[in-house]
Structure 1
Amino acid sequence: MPLDAIRPSPLVEQATERLRAQITGGDWTVGTKLPGETTLAQMLGVGRSTVREALRALAGAGMVQARHGSGVFVLAAEPVEEWSVKLRRAAITDVYEVRMFVEVGAAQLAATRRSHGDLIRLREALERRRAAALEGDAAFVEADIALHATVVEAAHNPVLDGLFTEFVPVLQKRLLDLVELLGLRERDPNNGDAGHTALVDAIVRRDAEGAARVLREELEQTLALLHAL
């Protein structure tokens, strides 16, 4: 597939699309070294700075990689979908299964690593969840997730914290749908208070296994409800 010169407009976007087409079309396969910036600029009829920006965009999409002193190589034939986009498209049951692994492990770490400040924040988050029981479903779900986020923060692992933060937008929307659809708070506006209290108490006692067990049971119950929908 020949590379025709392109007309000025959004030059970077056009150059990026042309280079992407060469890769997805199989002209430059995975592992191939791309021509140099000067050659690409001549082929596309644009300046080297435009080519540089186009290559940077393709690198951001996970399709190419610059190797110092060697050049730019093709990494993938298709753009790599961003994690946040993949999460939004994923089935809530799949998200919840991963959440379970992340949070149960975080609860164990929190029980062994929590500081005095963490305990204060955990108790405050538990009280906010109880206060939110007097409000609407949206406020209650938000307070519930905030308590879980506080548990993850008490693990003092930035990777776990970052993973959970990525889950929050998806969880908040889907859990609100679940609460409203199943009417989980009709009989008990503070649904799950006993389990969350037990979780906080286990972390206070530095009972890692107890914290993991309580949280796993709670998340498994919710996952079973999601599977039943």
Structure 2
Amino acid sequence: MINKKNSSHFLSYFPQFSRASCGLLLTVVGLSGCSSSPTPNYYSLTPTVKPLVSSNVRVIEVLPVGLPDRLNRAPMVLQDSNGKSHILGNERWTSTLGAELRDGLSAGLQQKLGAVDRYSSGMTGGKVSYRIATDFSRFDILERSNTRSLMGAMSQDIEVAVAWIIKRDDPARPLNQPTGVQNTVVPNRQLSCRMAFTNSVRTDGNKIVDIVNVSKQSLSQVVEAIAASVIATEANTPVVMESVTCA
């Protein structure tokens, strides 16, 4: 940094600068050294779910989720009604949104099913497990002009579109069933499901906190739906849940 002590040396090397110009340069450098950007706010996407009374599922494997690149970042992204994206540099998830969704799904499903996620626990094989692959085509924060408001207020929605595949894996299941033996072994079934929904954000003063809370509620809905499909896969029964389609 240039200071008053060495300003004379600076002028000796650059005689075209006047002492007034040098003083101005010192002032600008000093101000730039003292300036600082606001400290970012960080939020997590931890869902809230109620555990099942009982579940026979003991091991799950929640894979990293699919998510569009436009959303898979730490700063929050708001989409307006014209499709324009606004990146909120000081309002951030504690990790990228894709990592937040995977960790939230894992935590919620472990709590809901009373199971262990072997993907992050380091558990070895040998037990029946349910592999869960999830793809979010949308987890958008939408901001729209409220035409009913005389003040021109903005309303926010959380719009979610997600698909997932549940695959049952039993390492003890024989590859070939002997001829003439009644088949009593549960097959390694695979189930594909999808759902889409929108939740409105009701702001009570802190818009960002309300957006985060509704985002958590939305992820909790996804956890409930995936847990129901895991139970259906385990019981070899259809999934009966509103807004969820499985095949």
Give the TM-score normalised by the residue count of structure 1: 0.29
Pick the structure with greater CA Rg.
2
Normalised to the residue count of structure 2, the TM-score between the two structures is: 0.27
More strand by share: 2
